Amino acid sequence: MAKIRVERAEVFLFRFTLGKPFRIALGTTTEKTEIVVALHDNHGRVGWGEASPSALILGCTPDSVLAALDHLIPAVLGEDPRRIRYLVDKLDRVLLGNAAAKAALDLALHDLVGQIYGEPVWRLLGGSLAEPVETDFTVGIDEPARMAAEARALVAAGFRAIKVKVGEDPQKDVARVRAVREAIGEGVRLWIDANQGWTRAQAVWALTRLSEYGVEFVEQPVPAEDLEGMAWVRKRSPIPVMADESVHSPADALRAIRLGACDYVNIKLMKAGGLLRAKEIAAICKHAGLPNMIGGMVESNLSATAAVHFALSEANVVFRDLDLGERPEAQLVARGGSAIRNGCQTLADPEAPGFGFVEIRKEWLKPVRTYTVGEKVRPGE
């Protein structure tokens, strides 16, 4: 094959306002600013990636992601994008942490390499079959009656798993979950996510009472840094415990497993730093006997599509929290990629190379940086 190299990189801002504020124990999201990266090779192909900053979960902001990319992008310019593992390792040698910025580059590299080989990313990652991926839908914190009504409407729309955000007040959280279970009936899977909102004692108190409502698991019942506390809760909880904010990296997964802190691990591409590190986390969990969930932040349907490809490639992912990019204002990919239909994320064309993007709404993007081999950074227009 002819010599291939990353010749140019473009960085954009993508801002959108949520039609409905999304409230969790850590706070309320009303708008998002995503960082979108386009990597161009010397044969005219373009790979797309996305960073979804979160100050409280990922420790980054849009400005810090842009600053990180100023250091990271020069490390891939001029390189053969097919050397993905080498390049991802190189990014870690350039800059510590900054997982969201690294995720944007990892995703763009995978999309580009899929196009080079003419293969979908799910197959490059080891998947054997592309079928619709069943997903839950998350109900944010609200009054119990409103949460119940939203959950009922979601089930009517075809979702067979509902995730309920809790972690604000244990007594009210019990009322919320009870209301949702009564609204959706017994045949629908029910998950809860406390987003670090409870103390150890509150978690055990709430989970003991919530066990009668058929809750399949609880995500992150206590603060992320309190792995010993999560292990303490797990020993006393009638409901299995899933680590989320406690596990960002493969090393974090090892630590949580060794401490007996969880039954499951939620993998997010933005926490892991992209698809390659996400696969490493899944491999560690598989061999430790812990199934995984694939989840995400408040993202566009660009990175949501990448998460779908990951789900299709990884048998250890048995829970799918992929209600990502479903809002009209987050539909950055106009044609191609993945979309939710009848409770499932479905690829528009499972055999399309890369992530299968046909049209990106470039008019929604604000250019902020351009990088070219041998040239300095040029600000966007």
Is residue 279 part of the annotated active site? The answer reads no
d(CA 371, CA 74) in angstroms, rounded, equals: 8
- Comparing CA positions, the residue from 299, 272, 16 lying closest to residue 138 is 299
Catalytic residue among 165, 271, 279, 362: 165
Q: Tell me, yes or no, if 268 is annotated catalytic.
A: yes
Cα separations (Å) of 341 from 167, 306, 315?
30, 17, 22
Which of these is catalytic: 32, 102, 163, 268?
268
Residues marked active site are found at: 165, 268
